């Protein structure tokens, strides 16, 4: 999905707010379209999180003060019978576009873009006429705010999926095992406040005849920063087969062989504010925790590294 997929213009007039998606790309033939209800929910979720207290539950009063304009026939409001199953990918771009627009009015209340997409990973194996199917939905790194670093390796803002324990996965599936599951150093956007770190999860295939399928986003477009921060990192899915590395697209599937290592890489969030203003103590903490390598720290935070000696 390109950067121009969703455009959002926010207008504030008195006690009302209008979010206008005019200019958003037209609907597509695949299931990436978002039904109107999902586009409205994504918009309201962004406005609610940025402009109200977390102690206030969503209520009808919020809807009375906000108008959302979504052109019919766009990817955010397709004409029936358009396919819509993977709607969350474009809904996150609407969430990001609205958050970026709000940053001009309330810079202290918004966050930079996080990895913010739905990454659906599916491994399957046909054995004696019966399928064994493993499916997990991943998040990534959160975007940074004025006062806080983004959360590391967490589900995205509009999702609520589980973090399945490795022990449970290994117990239930015989055709693969989880070989690695770890935070990724240097995977966040730098800034006064950095984005959240991304992570990787790798699966060793133990049987011939398995397949991998995925739909995801952020493989070609990185999370965008705010106010001089650095962009987040992108995602990837790779099949390591001996010395060969096979790169998959963000919406793809492939046949697997015993011995293959399937690696999902989930990106990190973007930074907020210039990296030159990041406290040296926070740079030191990231170095100590292994989230930031020394080479990256010297490039992104040269003055802080001098101060740390």
- Rounded to whole angstroms, the Cα distance separating 31 from 14 reads 38
pLDDT average per 10 residues of sequence, the chain (309 residues): 64 92 95 96 94 87 90 97 94 96 96 96 94 96 98 92 91 97 98 98 97 96 98 98 97 98 98 98 98 98 96
- Rounded to whole angstroms, the Cα distance separating 10 from 46 reads 12
| Per-residue confidence (pLDDT) for residue 3, from 0 to 100 | 45
| Per-residue confidence (pLDDT) for residue 63, from 0 to 100 | 85
What are the domain boundaries of the chain? Answer: 1-110, 112-278
Q: How many CB atoms lie within 10 A of CB 65?
A: 12
| Per-residue confidence (pLDDT) for residue 15, from 0 to 100 | 86
């Amino acid at each position: 999905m390109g950067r121009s997929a969703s455009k959002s213009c926010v207008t504030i007039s008195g006690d009302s707010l209008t979010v206008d998606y005019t200019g958003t790309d037209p609907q597509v033939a695949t299931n990436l379209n978002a039904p109107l209800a999902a586009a409205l929910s994504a918009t309201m979720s962004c406005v609610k999180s940025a402009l109200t207290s977390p102690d206030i539950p969503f209520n009808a009063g919020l809807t009375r003060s906000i108008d959302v304009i979504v052109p019919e026939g766009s990817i955010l409001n397709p004409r029936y019978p358009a396919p819509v199953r993977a709607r969350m990918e474009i809904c996150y771009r609407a969430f990001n576009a609205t958050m970026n627009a709000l940053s001009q009015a309330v810079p202290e209340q918004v966050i930079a873009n996080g990895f913010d997409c739905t990454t659906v990973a599916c491994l399957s194996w046909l054995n004696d006429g019966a399928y064994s199917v493993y499916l997990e939905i991943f998040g990534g790194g959160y975007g940074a705010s004025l006062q806080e670093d983004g959360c590391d390796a967490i589900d995205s803002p509009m999702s609520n999926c589980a973090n399945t324990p490795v022990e449970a996965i290994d117990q239930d599936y015989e055709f693969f095992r989880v070989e690695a599951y770890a935070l990724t150093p240097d995977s966040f956007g730098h800034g006064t406040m950095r984005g959240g770190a991304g992570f990787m999860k790798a699966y060793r295939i133990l049987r011939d005849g398995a397949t991998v399928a995925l739909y995801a986003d952020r493989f070609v477009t990185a999370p965008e920063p705010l106010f001089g921060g650095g962009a987040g990192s992108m995602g990837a899915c790779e099949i390591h087969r001996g010395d060969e590395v096979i790169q998959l697209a963000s919406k793809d599937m492939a046949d697997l062989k015993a011995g293959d290592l399937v690696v999902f890489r989930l990106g990190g969030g973007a930074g907020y504010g210039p990296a030159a203003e990041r406290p040296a103590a926070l740079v030191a903490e990231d170095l100590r925790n292994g989230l930031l390598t020394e080479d990256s720290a010297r490039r992104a935070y040269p003055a802080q590294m001098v101060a740390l000696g």
